[in-house]
Amino acid sequence: MNINKLKNKNPYNVDRFEKKLFFERMKFLTEHHKKNNAYYSKMLNLSKQKKNIQEIKEIPYVHNELFKLLDLYSVKKKNIFKVLKSSGTSGSKQSKIFLDKQNAINQSLVLSQLFKSNFGGERFPMLIIDKNPKFKSPKEYDAKTAAFLGFSLFGFDHTFLLDDQGKIDYESFERFIKKHKKKIFIFGFTSFIYEILIKHFDKKKLMKMLNNSFILHGGGWKKMDDQKISNDKFKKLLKTKHNIKRVVNYYGMIEQAGSVFFECEKCNFFKSSIFSNVLIRNKNLQVEENGKPGLIQVMSTLPTSYPGHSILTEDVGYIKKGLNKCKCLTEGSCFKVIGRTKISKIRGCSDV
């Protein structure tokens, strides 16, 4: 797939022709990684992969935990340009994603196309609700730094709200907010935005200075669920405290950087694009019908340097049932994430 040829195309115009192209791309990537990655090839052989794939649901998948256990790359080691790592909790292993230069470029191109389709083509003054990660190596990033760097392409005068000690830097914030009269792009992880902007930001005279802004946030929903904060309540709190009316959630992961799923602002479902798709699988790993919950399987056309084009996650969700009345897509999948499950055993074609 030549990403440059698709750069002027509406990424959400998922018609039947685009679905066919997507399916052919998934088959190509499956064979590509089977040929170039010994681990992946062994997995497919042990799982008795169907040789003549006829439907999208037959595309084999790996469990996302596999990237914590093995170094999976489908290019020569000398061509590895960058390594992305999941944030990981204390004591847990991190996923490692190996990118060559072309794969990294394609991720940036697609992310740019998706962002522009949702927020327009201009760059915005950018406020990041975190402290500066000050990464040490330009070739190895954790998930948080990778997200900052990825979305920083759409901003300028990048300003971190927290100082190096993790405290709100009100002086820096006030200078930034008074300097920029145009629309401001606020970015951060959901739980950080909740803790910092909603719970701990206490300068009343500065609270309404963010009204001419929009927020893009993702991840961190487990902490929010623990505090009984829904997506709707999260948005209402931001509107009440800071008068921020446009708040957009996104769903993405380090294993498929670039082809993220943005939330439709009308129906509040995540929307797939010509570069991505989701399936829902039940406890028997059969594809579930629309409207019924199950494990989310994510697909992306981008991973060429590592076998991450089809991944079974630990997230639970469901695809919208019936017609897409808000017309945020034509025939693409719209889905919600409703939680996470813990899987004690790696399943699917990674069940080795």
> CATH number of the domain at 122-251, out of 1.10.3470, 3.30.230, 3.30.530, 3.40.50?
3.40.50
The Cα 267–Cα 272 span in angstroms is: 14
Query: Taking residues 271-293, what's their average pLDDT?
Result: 94
**Residue 346 pLDDT level (bands cut at 50, 70, 90):** very low
Predicted model pTM: 0.91
Does 198 score more than 90 pLDDT?
yes
The Cα 4–Cα 216 span in angstroms is: 25
Query: Taking residues 260-283, what's their average pLDDT?
Result: 94
pLDDT at 344: 41
- Structural tokens at position 135: 């990464």
Query: Taking residues 62-74, what's their average pLDDT?
Result: 94
Closest CA to 129 of 169, 87, 100: 169
pLDDT at 324: 61
Contacts of 265 (CB under 8 A, 6+ apart): 246, 248
Domain ranges of the chain: 3-107+253-350, 122-251
86-95, 137-146, 147-156: least confidently modelled range: 86-95
> CATH number of the domain at 3-107+253-350, out of 3.40.50.300, 3.40.190.10, 3.40.50.12780, 3.30.930.10?
3.40.50.12780
Q: What is the pLDDT of residues 167-179, one digit of tens each?
A: 999 999 999 999 9
pLDDT at 51: 76
Query: Taking residues 84-99, what's their average pLDDT?
Result: 78
Does 90 score more than 60 pLDDT?
no
pLDDT at 351: 37
Query: Taking residues 27-35, what's their average pLDDT?
Result: 96
- Residue 277: strand pairing partners: 299
pLDDT at 349: 43
Q: In this prediction, what percent of the chain has a pLDDT beyond 70?
A: 90
Contact assessment for residue 351 and residue 104, using Cβ atoms and an 8 Å cutoff = no
Q: Is 171 helix (H, G, I), strand (E, B) or coil?
A: helix
Does 347 score more than 50 pLDDT?
no
Contact assessment for residue 231 and residue 268, using Cβ atoms and an 8 Å cutoff = yes
Does 145 score more than 90 pLDDT?
no
Query: Taking residues 224-242, what's their average pLDDT?
Result: 90
The overall average pLDDT reported for the chain is 88
The Cα 25–Cα 317 span in angstroms is: 25
3-107+253-350 and 122-251 in the same fold: yes
pLDDT at 348: 41
Does 86 score more than 70 pLDDT?
yes
Q: What is the pLDDT of residues 93-142, one digit of tens each?
A: 889 999 999 999 999 999 999 999 999 989 999 999 999 887 666 677 78
